Amino acid sequence: MIDRRRLESGGLIAFLVLATLGLMLVVSSFAGALLWAVLAAILFQSLFRWLLARWPGHRNRAAATTLLIILVAVIIPALAIAAMVIDQTAGVYARVQSGQIDFATYFQQMHDALPQWVQRPLDRSGLGSFDRAQARIAEGLRNSFRSIASQALSIGRNAAAFLLAFGVGLYVTYFLLRDGETLAPAIRDALPLERSVADRLLGKFVAVVRATVKGSVVVGLVQGALGAVTFWIVGLPAALLWGLLMALMSLLPAVGPAIVWVPVAAYLLATGAVWQAIVVVVSGVAVIGLADNILRPILVGRDTGIPDWLVLVTTLGGIEVAGLSGIVVGPLVAALFIAGWQILTEQRRGHAIANPDAADAPRDDGG
């Protein structure tokens, strides 16, 4: 006869699984807003506590003030920059469509400026005229600008949905800030894990969120701003757009912003803009490149324990799956994966040390 308690426990677990899946389905439209609300609450929790220390007992006022600071210092400037980037993107796209910007001509100029010892291998490989490369790259860039322009139009058409998600995110952030000190222990105690394991996983979650947002996003914005200023100095069109691309590329380990400024410097040098190319190279190496080495240790404070190659793969995969939120989701999943396996390995080693004879005990196979 089936144990009644085990049956009831199994029924409760099945109910919780179904209820959890149902809740995820219901809130899936606001998944991005909820994620960024959690990130904002984690990042600005220290500011909330600082305000609460000055207004003891006034949690609502401290949370509202923190939210106002987030709105004024982060969200409004980000929306203004996004509007300028969209405007520059639309301008560049219009110039590409009208033929004022001809990528094929630019690549041909670069080829003609190369020394003969570089041109000859390219000619023998069939890339001397850059016909196929020109067509593919030019079409790829046109498609990219077309995609960005269509996304901008989509945002305009779905302004109501965007504003609704934006409002939900701010609303949830307020309550996470105000009640975070009680919500975190409640979530930890509700997890079907040992207390020490739950503490380590939650600690890893917070550490990766802070490292990713502060150490990657903030550093990326700084490098993108430096790149935009550099491109503006040398007179490149749509400097803010190229700066945004550098900020996005800075999220990728190893390559980083160099994937943008190196080809730009090569093009400037090949087309005779020598001093502009020198400025881009010097800025890329001595200013933009060093920003990561100086700012990341200050902002991150501690290592997340994720190898660079895994950060690269999970960041790209996260962006593919979750869009912009994948910048955080990808490395976060990787960090929790590594932490979980480390905990399991430590527990198995501890069990083996506590029971040294268990591994050597003969098995009874029934034979």
What pLDDT shows up at residue 130?
46
Taking every pair of C-alpha atoms in the chain, what is the biggest distance, in angstroms? 88
Amino acid residing at 365: D
Angle formed by the axes of helices 159-190 and 31-43, nearest 10°: 60
| 259, 265 contact by CB (below 8 A) | no
Measured CA to CA, the distance from residue 52 to residue 59 in angstroms comes to: 6
Q: Band the pLDDT of 1: cuts 50, 70, 90.
A: very low
Measured CA to CA, the distance from residue 2 to residue 220 in angstroms comes to: 58
Measured CA to CA, the distance from residue 34 to residue 329 in angstroms comes to: 13
First and final C-alpha spacing in the chain = 30
Residues with Cβ within 8 Å of 62's Cβ and at least 6 positions away in sequence, in order, are: 48, 51, 52, 55, 177, 178
pLDDT digits (tens, 9 = 90+) for 205-255: 887 887 777 777 788 888 888 888 998 898 887 788 888 888 877 777 667
Which of 26-40, 257-271, 275-289 is least confident?
Answer: 257-271
Q: In this predicted model, which residue has the larger pLDDT, 128 or 273?
A: 273
pLDDT digits (tens, 9 = 90+) for 305-362: 677 777 778 877 887 887 777 878 888 888 888 888 888 888 888 766 766 655 455 5
pTM above 0.75, yes or no: no
What Rg, from alpha-carbon coordinates, does the chain have? Answer: 26
Q: Which DSSP category does 100 fall into?
A: S
What pLDDT shows up at residue 83?
78
Is pLDDT above 60 for 364?
no
